[in-house]
Structures are given as C-alpha cells and as structure tokens.
Amino acid sequence: MERKGTVLMGKYEIGRLLGQGTFAKVHHARNLKTGMSVAIKIVDKERVLKAGMMDRIMREISVMRLVRHPNIVELYEVMASKTKIYFVMEYVKGGKLFKKVVKGKLKEDASRRYFKQLISAVDFCHSRGVCHRDLKPENFLLDEHGNLKVTDFGLSALAETKHQDGLLHTICGTPAYVAPEVINRRGYDGCKSDIWSCGVILYVLLAGYLPFQDSNLMEMYRKIGKGEFKFPDWFAPEVRRLLLKILDPNPRTRISIEKIMEHPWFRKGLDRKTEAVDAEVKEPAMVLQTRTPWSNLNAFDIISLSAGFALSGLFEEKEQKKEVRFSSNKSAPTIISKLEDIAKRLKMKVKKKDDGLLKIESSNEGKRGTLEINAEIFEITPFLHLVEVKKSNGDTLEYQKLMKQEIRPALSDIVWAWQGEPPLQPSLLSPMEHQESQQFHVGSTQS
C-alpha cells in the first residue's frame, strides 16, 4: 500500500488519497525534480488480471496517448512494478463538475461554457478515431480556472474496433446517459452515441436533473428509446431547438458536432479571438519515448495484444482470417531469430529482413501460387512487442494449416498471448523477473 510520503520510483513523492475504486486508487503526488503536482492512478495488477480487465488498462493507455487536448486530462507517463501499474497524469485541483450539478442547475452562460469545452474535447477525440462511451458529469474535472477536463477513458473505443457492419456492439456506459441505439443492441456508431450523451449532459447542466428518469429501469429505457422528455419552463427557445436535434432517438438524423458548433445558441458570446483559440488545437511536444523501427503501430494494435480483449470476429470470421497477432516479452532480435529458425526448419526462405519486417516464402508451389508470409514486429516498450503474422500470397487454407500445425507450436516459448486468447505467460508488464521493478514509457501511437 502506498502511504503519504512514500517516494515512488525515486521520482514522485506520494501525497493524499484523492479517490479509490475496485481496482485502483488515485493519489496526489509531487515530482521531486520539478516540484510539479501530478495525480497518480495506482492500479492493482493482480486484481486486474484476475478480473480479465487488462484490456481496459491497455485501452486507457493507448487512447490517452492519442487524445492530447486542453480539455482532456493529460497522461504524462506510465510506470510499472511487479504488482502495480502507475498512471502519472495531470493534476486537476478544481474538483468534479458533478459536485456543482448536484447542488442544482447552473446559469445558462456557465452551462454553455462547459458545453463548448466538452464539445471541443469530444470533437477532438472523434477526429482521432476515439469514442469515449461514458460521458457524464462524474467524469469531468474542473481546473483552478474553471475549465472542464474530460477523464476516464476505460470504456472508450477506437474506429478500428468496429465490426463488419461498421458499428460497435459492446453495451456499455451509464444508463441515464446512454443513447437509444446502444440499448437496442443492434450496433451503434460510437461518435453519434457520444453526441447523445453530450445532449443529456447539457440538459442536466441547465435543469439540475436528468431528462430521462424513472424508478423502473425498463420504463426509463422506453423513454430514452422514444426520446420522451419535457423541458423546464426556464429553457430558452434556442436551447430547446438544439436539444431536440441532439436528443433525436434516430442516430441517422441526429445533429452532427459540426452542426452543433454552428448553432446560434452554441455560438452566442463567441468573438473572433475566442473562435480562433478554439479552432487551433496544437499538439504538445512528445515527452515520452520516441519512435523506433518497431514502434509504428496504432492504438488498435496496442489494444489487440491484450488477452482480455477478444478481437476475433472483426473484419473476417475466425476460419477465414489471413493474419494473427501475438504479444511477446522477448527482444525484437530474439523474435526475428526465432522466426528465421522456424523458416529454416520448414525449408522456407527468408526474402527480406528490414525494420522489423520479415518476409518468408515457401520453396514449393501451392494451389494458388507460392505461399508467402509476412511477420512484422512493433515495439510497445523495450520489453514488450506486438507481432503480426500475415499471409501475403498463396492459399489461405494452406497458410492456416501451416500456422496451426507448425508455426504456432514452434512460437510457444516466446509468446505471451495470442490475440483474443488467455495469456501463456503470467506477467505482461514485468517480463524481467530479476528486476524488482521496471519503469516503462508508452511509445507514440499513430493511426
């Protein structure tokens, strides 16, 4: 247990407890070198692994590296020991927006200000292919200047995780804020469902209570499905018209973020200077690990290595898949050497070895030409790699047979986990057993 005054990794002095949940707790901390205040989220690795929640942790890491914006809590670095994972994040000391809301409705100008900042953050997330999926006042912090900061990306999704129908299918979120199409279980567009949640939030800010509420959960879902709610008398006509467009139960006709930003109620009070500041979101300089020849993976790749996040069924049925992925805690040269040994044993020739990409070709002609396999290696940390093995030519059934009978068994000693399967090795974030703890930085992710 981390106690006040404890020095973490020789770098951060742990301060007071800010909050606590089932798998994690958050402490205020101070950077001993710079004196800067930070918030450190401390995750119990054993509990997370037992609960099969490592996918959520990996998702948070990858997403927070993608969405660096003034109205989103910034992730500075991630560290790990044998038993804990540490998120070092921006310290936001103004409290939660939820505490303001529970005291009653906010003034229209204050509500508009928070709503503009929320829409700016959500629009930025969507531009990076990220859907939050759990937008609510409890997940918004306020800094000392009263600016909104979005946090908690544990339920977020990326554009690459859509099914063949182009939609998301995981039912998640908080019931009162969730969009009707999510409840209907027929698939949904994560960006459009986020917009619905923003509408519920705007209503709550202005009214002081939820638009859809009932002691019977099924009745509340019925109201959400029909978009059945009433406006308080004090809602201005312009904001009523905007909310009717946002809380449209039909996602196809629901207003877009672009149109929200053009709406008269939203634009009220915007001068040219403010508009210019809002439009220009500069990417902060990368302070974490720079790219290596094996680090050019996107956030989907990072998530896919997590054994708890089953990705089978995406894009193709499992029986038709032409590629597989696995994570390994071995070094890139070790992985390459292993693949070369397998190729030699199978009397296949290595055609190319360059920047983490290995091209292997069969010496015999198959049913549909020569079987060719590409193996590409991506570095996530110096001690954790993602490997994608993919058929680039030849017969798919021949490739699958070779993978199942020869290649997969031969790789067992270097594989931590195959995509969508339980881990073969006990630890993902502490592969070097001789070290008591090992700090790692999350590499730059690009989609």
56-60, 248-252, 295-299, 403-407: lowest mean pLDDT where?
A: 295-299
134 carries an active-site annotation: yes
Q: Which of 80-84, 177-181, 212-216 has the highest mean pLDDT?
A: 177-181
Q: Is 359 exposed, middle or buried (0-12, 13-18, 19+ CB in 10 A)?
A: middle
User: Is 242 within the bounds of a domain?
Assistant: yes
Task: Give mean pLDDT, residues 318-345.
Answer: 81
Q: In the chain, what percentage of residues exceed pLDDT 70?
A: 77
Same-domain check for residues 116 and 45 = no
Same-domain check for residues 324 and 431 = yes
Place of tokens 């019925």: 222
pLDDT in tens, 397-411: 889 999 999 999 999
Tokens describing residue 205: 């800010």
Same-domain check for residues 118 and 173 = yes
Q: Which of 29-33, 99-103, 369-373 has the highest mean pLDDT?
A: 29-33
pLDDT-derived band of residue 417, with 50, 70 and 90 as boundaries? confident
pLDDT of 57 above 70 = yes
Identify the active-site residue in 134, 189, 194, 248: 134
In DSSP notation, 63-77 reads HHHH---TTBPPEEE
Q: Is the pTM of this model over 0.75?
A: no
Are 270 and 419 in contact by the 8 Å Cβ rule? The answer is no
Q: pLDDT value at position 168?
A: 87
User: Is 284 within the bounds of a domain?
Assistant: no
- Domain containing residue 121: CATH number: 1.10.510.10
pLDDT-derived band of residue 437, with 50, 70 and 90 as boundaries? very low
* Mean of all residue pLDDT scores within the chain: 80
User: Is 444 within the bounds of a domain?
Assistant: no
Domain stop point among 55, 90, 125: 90
Same-domain check for residues 122 and 68 = no
Same-domain check for residues 260 and 320 = no
User: Is 285 within the bounds of a domain?
Assistant: no
pLDDT in tens, 89-130: 999 988 889 999 999 999 999 999 999 999 999 999 999 999
Tokens describing residue 70: 């003034």
Q: Domain range spanning residue 37?
A: 7-90
Q: pLDDT value at position 422?
A: 55
Q: pLDDT value at position 351?
A: 78
Are 338 and 325 in contact by the 8 Å Cβ rule? The answer is no
Same-domain check for residues 112 and 248 = yes
Task: Give mean pLDDT, residues 349-366.
Answer: 80
Other beta carbons within 10 Å of 33: 9
Domain stop point among 90, 108, 141: 90
Same-domain check for residues 306 and 337 = yes
Same-domain check for residues 234 and 332 = no
pLDDT of 218 above 60 = yes
For the chain, how many structural domains are there in total? 3
Same-domain check for residues 115 and 260 = yes
Q: pLDDT value at position 2?
A: 66
Same-domain check for residues 51 and 141 = no
pLDDT-derived band of residue 288, with 50, 70 and 90 as boundaries? very low
- Residue 18 phi, psi dihedral angles, 5° rounding: -100, -30
Q: Which of 202-216, 364-378, 389-403, 413-427 has the highest mean pLDDT?
A: 202-216
- Domain containing residue 35: CATH number: 3.30.200.20
Are 132 and 153 in contact by the 8 Å Cβ rule? The answer is yes
Other beta carbons within 10 Å of 136: 20
> CA 180: distance to chain centroid?
23
Task: Give mean pLDDT, residues 246-271.
Answer: 93
- Residue 131 phi, psi dihedral angles, 5° rounding: -110, 130
User: Is 290 within the bounds of a domain?
Assistant: no
User: Is 288 within the bounds of a domain?
Assistant: no
User: Is 255 within the bounds of a domain?
Assistant: yes
Residues comprising the binding site for ATP? 50
Tokens describing residue 285: 């300089």
Tokens describing residue 308: 């708890």
pLDDT-derived band of residue 376, with 50, 70 and 90 as boundaries? confident
Same-domain check for residues 84 and 102 = no
pLDDT of 425 above 80 = no
User: Is 292 within the bounds of a domain?
Assistant: no
Q: Which of 410, 438, 272, 426 is nearest to 335 (CA)?
A: 410
Domain stop point among 67, 90, 113: 90
83-87, 141-145, 258-262, 268-272: lowest mean pLDDT where?
A: 268-272
22-26, 209-213, 362-366: lowest mean pLDDT where?
A: 362-366
Same-domain check for residues 105 and 181 = yes
Q: pLDDT value at position 380?
A: 60
Task: Give mean pLDDT, residues 146-158.
Answer: 91
